[in-house]
Structure formats: structure tokens, C-alpha cells
Amino acid sequence: MDLLEHQGKEILSRYGIETPRGTVVDTPESLPAVDIPLPWVLKAQVPAGGRMKAGGIRMAHSVKEARRATDEMLGSSLHGCRVDRVLVEEQVPVDWEWYLCLTIDRSLRMPRLLFSRRGGIEVEETGEMLQLPVNPLVGLQEHHLRRMEKPARPVARRLYHLFREMDCELAEINPLAVVDGRPLALDAKITVNHNALYRHPELLQHDPRLTPLEQEAQKMGLAFVQEEGEVGVIANGAGLTMATMDALQDYGARGLFLDLCGTDDARQVERALSLMHRAGPRVILLNLFGGITKCDTVARGVLSALEKGMDTPIVARIRGTNEEQARQMLADRVESHLSFQEAVHRTAALGRGS
């Protein structure tokens, strides 16, 4: 999970790494209330790099100038990401810029510390990068830190603690500036291992890139992607779900993605159907290959959802463990097909309204 810059800086601050004064706004009208001395740096909050060159970072010497720039950024697309928030920060005089990063070296199977005495844009092209493997059993040591400038050493130590405790795949400060002799993190890029998010529920609660339904699904343990589409695809397994969506596209329909993630709980199936119903597709395609997720369990979840008033039409293709029992349970309640192609063709037609 890639955090936005302001989220990363909040975490840096918790670990004692100083950042510029800043606040996040989502409307230009909020700017007059910002209690930070001008001039300001305005930063579009998207999980992507290269914002400066793309016009996602701008300077403002007055509130009027800031309102104009913020109005242009909000609602725009930057590297394929919609800008919904802008970080407003104080502009600071920089004496020097460094680059500091911790990442995973997958070839060595351990963290790697990267440090450069030149930070900022295109730092990777300078060829002056210090790269030090860090044995996770002993952690960051003095012999690592001695190869860095003194002001950067305490920042590196704190960043390493953050990297380990927050289950990071990447913790990058670029640039790490020297301002009046003290280190200051002017930017932050933090990636948290998706499989460790259950240990950091606060990150899920404040992810602006997820829709409310996607956030709800994540809390349920379901994999849901709410895109524009006429067909709600529910299957067990990401591969089967994606294959079903590809087949729908061949028949001229678009699908919303929901993976049951291997559940054998009828209540979880009911919740998945309710969630998909609220996403508003014209029809739901339930494509199930029963193994761990038994077919009759899914059928009980479907019946429960229907009894509670879910009225979105369902086309089902159910094969695997207890499939005959499941088909009997759902007879006269949902449209059922044995053939994958027939189920997809029929669902696509309903989705298109034909």
C-alpha cells in the first residue's frame, strides 16, 4: 500500500523525524484559514512520483495565488491518479539536500540502506549512491552510520525503526534537507506491505483512494474493486474472478471485481452479495468452482441475501463440491448455467440491457 505524502510525514513525525509545517486542504476555500506563514509549497497528494515535472508541486506567494493553483490541481488527473487533496507547507531555505531510503533487497532477502549526498529530482541518475545491506537479525549498526554525514545518522536510525515496525517495503526521504544545520524531511514516500495492513488498521481508515464500499470490503476481508461496469462479478479466487471479467469484456460488458477470498462462510457470501448490490450493477454473475468454498455454502448465502430483499438479478455458474445440492437449493431463485461460456454470454446480454 503506497501512502500519500502527508500520511508518510505524519508517520515520520511519530518517529521523531522533523518535517516542515503543513496542513491538508480539499477545497480552495480552506486556504484563508491556513495558519502557516507565506510563501507556501502546494503539493498534489497522489501515490506517484515525478510530481514536480507534471505540475503537481507549485509555489505560492499569496493566498490568491494559492487558491488559483489549488483550484487547478483539485479534481485533475496526475499520472493517472485523481487529485482530491493538496498539502500546503511552509517554504524553507535549504542549505543542502541528501537522499535517504530503506527498501527490501529481494536478492539478499534483507533490508538495504541507500544514501546519497545529492538529493532531489533524478537522484538515481547521479551514480553516487551508497548502498548498504542491513542484516535484520542485528539491525542498523554504527559501521553503517559512520559512512553517512553526522546530521543524517539519527534520521537513518529512526527511519530504520519505522521501516521495521510499520512493515514497510519502502521508506524514502527525498530530499532530506539541511535547514539551519538541522535535518528536515521535505518529502516522504512510504509503502506498507499489503499483507501486514491488519496490524495497521489506522491506515485503512484514512485511505482516500478507496471508495466507501472498497473500505467496507477490506474490513470484511473481501477483495473488491469498484470500477464502472454493468455486471458485478463474484468468484472465489483472484484468477477466476479476473478470467471471468476478461470473458465478459469479450462479450461487450464491463465487470466489477469481488473475490470471496476462499471463505466457506454463508454469512460472508451474504455480505458480499449485499456489498455488490449496493454498488449498483444491472446483474450479478456468480462464478464458483467449489473446493474450500463449498457450493452449498454459497447457495445458503445467496438465499439469505434474497430473503433480505436483495433484488439484483443473479446468473450463477456453480461447479465443484456439493454442486448438485447447491443447484437444487437455488432452483427457481436464480438463473443457473453449467457452461461458463453460456453463463458469461447471458450475463453480458443482461448487463447491456439486450
B/e letters for 301-313, b = 16+ CB within 10 Å, e = fewer, are bbbbbbeeebebe
Residue 125's pLDDT is: 66
Q: What size, in residues, is the chain?
A: 354
Block residue for cell numbers 507549485: 58
Residue 127: pLDDT band by 50, 70, 90 thresholds? Answer: low
Residue 269's pLDDT is: 93
Q: Is the peptide bond before 39 cis (omega within 30 degrees of 0)?
A: yes
Residue 197: pLDDT band by 50, 70, 90 thresholds? Answer: confident
CA angle 7, 184, 115 (to 5 degrees): 90
Mean pLDDT confidence for 175-182: 92
User: Which regions of 117-260 does DSSP assign to beta strands (E)?
Assistant: 129-133, 168-179, 182-185, 189-192, 223-225, 231-235, 255-259
B/e letters for 240-253, b = 16+ CB within 10 Å, e = fewer, are bbebbbebbeebeb
* C-alpha closest to that of 49 among 157, 172, 134: 172
Mean pLDDT confidence for 75-93: 91
Residue 205's pLDDT is: 66
Residue 212's pLDDT is: 83
Architecture per CATH, domain 21-90, reads as: 2-Layer Sandwich (3.30)
Mean pLDDT confidence for 222-244: 92
Average pLDDT, the chain: 92
Task: State the amino acid at position 15 in one-letter form.
Answer: Y
| Run of H or E residues at 191 | strand 189-192
d(CA 1, CA 167): 11
- Output 207 or 303, whichever has higher pLDDT: 303
d(CA 62, CA 59): 9
What is the residue-wise DSSP string for 83-125?
---EEEEE----SEEEEEEEEEETTTTEEEEEEESS-STTGGG
- Please state the domain extents for the chain: 21-90, 96-197, 212-352
- Residue 207, pLDDT above cutoff 70: no
Mean pLDDT confidence for 138-149: 95
Mean pLDDT confidence for 224-248: 92
- From the number of C-beta atoms within 10 Å of its C-beta (0-12, 13-18, 19+), residue 60 rates as buried
**CA distances to 42, 75, 183 from 37, in Å:** 13, 26, 20
Residue 126's pLDDT is: 64
pLDDT, one tens digit per residue, over 257-316 is: 999 888 889 999 999 999 999 999 999 999 998 888 889 999 999 999 999 999 999 999
Residue 353's pLDDT is: 84
- pLDDT above 90 coverage of the chain, percent: 76
Residue 261's pLDDT is: 85
Mean pLDDT confidence for 53-81: 93
Residue 140's pLDDT is: 95
- Residue 354, pLDDT above cutoff 80: no
pTM over 0.75: no
**At 223, is the secondary structure helix, strand, or coil?**
strand
Block residue for cell numbers 465487470: 255
CATH of 212-352, one of 3.20.20.120, 3.40.50.261, 3.40.50.2300, 1.10.760.10: 3.40.50.261
Residue 208: pLDDT band by 50, 70, 90 thresholds? Answer: low
Mean pLDDT confidence for 147-174: 96
CATH of 96-197, one of 3.30.470.20, 3.30.70.2610, 1.10.3470.10, 3.10.20.30: 3.30.470.20
d(CA 249, CA 352): 11
Residue 98: pLDDT band by 50, 70, 90 thresholds? Answer: very high
Mean pLDDT confidence for 195-217: 80
Range of weakest confidence among 203-212, 287-296, 319-328, 332-341? 203-212
- Asked if 301 and 268 count as a contact pair (C-beta separation under 8 A), the reply is yes
Q: How many CB atoms lie under 10 A from the CB of residue 324?
A: 10
